[in-house]
Structure formats: C-alpha cells, structure tokens
Amino acid sequence: MRGIFSHFAAADEPTHPSVSAQHEAFVAAVALADDAGLGIEIRHMANSAAALELPHARWDMVRVGLAMYGLSPAPDLHSSADYGLRPAMRVIARVSNVKRVPAGQGVSYGYSYTCAQDTTLLNVPLGYGDGVPRHASSKTDVLVAGQRRRIAGRVCMDQIVIDAGDLDVVCGDEVVLFGAGDAGEPTAQDWAATIDTISYEIVTRFGPHLPRVYLENAISDDRLNED
C-alpha cells in the first residue's frame, strides 16, 4: 500500500462545512494508517479548486484537471485571470453559407427565432452532435468578423445559424465559438454562465472526432523557466 487519497465534494466553496469536515476525516485516516505502520508514501485529496483555494489540503501532490486547461474551478470566487490562468482551448468553424433574409424570417427548427429586421444569416457546420449544447439556442454568442453575434434559433445536430446583421461576411470566414477572450470572443465560462452549467461541461462536449491543432511554443521559454 503506497498511497491514500480522498476527494472534496465542495472545494469550490471553501467555507462550506463539508470542506473542513472532510479534511479532518482525512487527517484522521492518515494518522490511522501511520499508526498501523502502513508506510504511506503519497497522500493527496486536492482537485483544481482545492489546490488553488486550500493550501493546507495539497499534501504530497495535487490532482489538477480543469485548471490545467486554464479554466477557473471556482468562477463564483475568481476568474481564470485572477488565478493567473489562460484558457487553452479555442473552438472555431468556417461559414458554409451566407444568406440575406427579410424581417420576420423564422430561423431553424420550430421558428423559435424570428429576425427582427432585414439581416444576414450565416450557416456554421457545428451542432449538438459535435458538442455545441442545444441549450445554447438563441442564447450564446460567437465571434464573427470581429464582433459577437448571437446563435439564431435552435442548435441543430450538425449546424448552427448566426444572425450577422449587416456584417460583411463570406463563405470560409472564421467563426470563433469560444476561446481565451483575447480578441473579444466568448470564453467557455461565458458559455457556461449563459446556459447555467460549468465550463468543464462545455469543453468536454467537443469530442475527439473534431480536428485538433496543438500549438507548440505557445508559452515563452522565459515563462517556462519561472519558479
């Protein structure tokens, strides 16, 4: 037997009574193992939130997940930037169709969205089958032509429609669903807040069938060498 571990139920709420109760129980369990002569080498119980918010719970190592990808594990307390984190994931697609429509035009299944004025609609080939939450229908923004524009109508299995207003957009232009926010695009946390979920759910929805590009040397050597 080499290790002993536990997991917090509410580390993103550091003052929740369960946090101190669980840590005290873990301390007692470690003492019990020591008294039994088990020679425990590794003790750990801190997920991302605990690693950042509860220094006393770091023990011999931590199990960061969400924080490793630059997302805040406790957005009600601190943003990613507050923790010194930068979101690592960016989801983009290309406009596949551009269509000018008149005011009153219904959009997507059920016509749950109606264009308030003459506008340009963009078809983007990503849908709930790819990871876009259906709850994002008519609620969530994307970045196109340097501006945030709303998903118009219901998210389909493999496509969404964007109301681009009078923006000058052509087929092939890039649409950023979410990213680090550097260019004004929504973040995964923005999406999560809009549809009342957590950023972890947003980023894990996008499955391995989507092409991925890994950017090397995204962190300078100076930053890598910092303590």
pLDDT digits 0-9 by tens, 191-211:
999 999 999 999 999 988 899
- Burial code of 46-61, b = ≥16 C-beta within 10 A, e = fewer? bbbbbbbbbeebebee
User: Which pTM does this prediction carry?
Assistant: 0.86
| pLDDT confidence band for 151 (50 / 70 / 90) | very high
- What mean pLDDT, rounded, does the chain reach? 93
Which one is predicted more confidently, 63 or 219? 63
For 209-226, what is the mean pLDDT?
A: 66
- Burial code of 96-123, b = ≥16 C-beta within 10 A, e = fewer? eebeeeeeebebbeeeebebeeebbbbe
Q: What does the alpha-carbon distance between residue 113 and residue 61 come to, in Å, rounded to a whole number?
A: 50
pLDDT digits 0-9 by tens, 31-82:
999 999 999 999 999 999 999 999 999 999 999 999 999 999 999 999 999 9
